Amino acid sequence: MTRKPPAFKSLTPGKTRYGNKRCAYKGMNFDSILERDHWIFLEEMQAQGKISGLERQVTYTLEVNRVKVCDMVPDFRYQLHRAGGRKEQIVADAKGFVTEDWRIKAALFYAIYGQKIVVVGKDKLTSLPG
């Protein structure tokens, strides 16, 4: 008799380089518990109609003067519903620790796409951008 696994589980024993623990939820793999928990929060916000178009791991090519520098894959992208029916695209990344490499990629992302990436930390786990 086989046992059904729990809704989410740890994928790798111990800790990774930055102390995050990989996990899974509803068949999706997450790089950290923080990322998974924010995804669950965003699913709830979408069910309540506060956001729409929720996506994970959308790849953005960071290219300067027709030369590909690198790709950036933020954790979340969605439309935030503002007052008056206005919608705003939000690109967010769950980060327990922001590295210098990430800061450079985020600056390139802003220069190319004209949008800042919202950093989701433990203090912003269950909140939407103001």
Question: Per-domain residue ranges for the chain?
Answer: 8-122
pLDDT at 8 over 70: no
* pLDDT for 5: 45
What average pLDDT score do residues 65-89 get? 93
pLDDT at 71 over 50: yes
Extract the runs of DSSP E, i.e. beta strands, from the chain: 8-10, 23-25, 28-30, 51-56, 60-64, 67-72, 76-81, 87-94, 118-120
CATH code of 8-122, in short, is 3.40.1350
Q: Quote the percentage of the chain above a pLDDT of 70.
A: 80
**73/56 Cα distance (integer angstroms):** 9
